[in-house]
Amino acid sequence: MNNPVTYSKADGACVITISCSVQGNPVCMETLDGLFTALDVAEGDRELNLAVIRSGQSGVFSKGHDIEKVSKADIAVVKQYNLMGQRLVSFIRNMKKPVLAAVDGDCFGPAFELILACDMVFATAKSRFGFNETEYGFVPGFGGTQLAARKAYETFAKYLVFTGEPVDAAELYGKGMVSKVLDGAESLEKAVTDMSVLMSKRSSFAVGLAKETINSTIDMDFAKGLLLEQNAFTFSFSTFDKTEGTSAFVEKREAKFKDRWEDYRF
Q: What residue type is 220 in one-letter code?
A: M
pLDDT, one tens digit per residue, over 43-87 is 999 999 999 999 999 999 999 999 999 899 999 999 999 999 999
pLDDT given at position 117:
97
The residue-averaged pLDDT of 239-262 equals 96
The residue-averaged pLDDT of 94-108 equals 97
pLDDT given at position 146:
94
pLDDT given at position 265:
76
pTM confidence score: 0.94
pLDDT given at position 260:
94
Question: What percentage of the chain has pLDDT greater than the value 90?
Answer: 94
Closest CA to 70 of 155, 138, 163: 138
pLDDT given at position 266:
62
Dist. CA 3–CA 209, nearest whole Å: 33
97 Cβ contact list (under 8 Å, min separation 6): 42, 43, 48, 49, 50, 51, 204, 207, 208, 211, 261
Residue 219 has pLDDT above 90, yes or no: no
Span of 66-70, 191-195, 209-213 with lowest mean pLDDT: 66-70
CA pseudo-torsion sign 135, 55, 19, 204: negative
Residue 237 has pLDDT above 70, yes or no: yes
pLDDT, one tens digit per residue, over 106-142 is 999 999 999 999 999 999 999 999 999 999 999 999 9
Residue 1 has pLDDT above 60, yes or no: no
- Summary mean pLDDT of the chain: 95
The residue-averaged pLDDT of 87-107 equals 97
- The DSSP call for residue 100 is E
Sheet containing 60-62: which strands, arranged edge to edge?
Answer: 60-62, 106-108, 128-130, 167-168
Dist. CA 250–CA 266, nearest whole Å: 36
Q: How far is CA 243 from CA 204, 251, 253, 264, in A?
A: 14, 12, 13, 20
C-alpha 23 chain-centroid distance: 23
pLDDT given at position 264:
83
Closest CA to 22 of 2, 36, 43, 51: 2
Dist. CA 88–CA 209, nearest whole Å: 20
The residue-averaged pLDDT of 227-253 equals 96
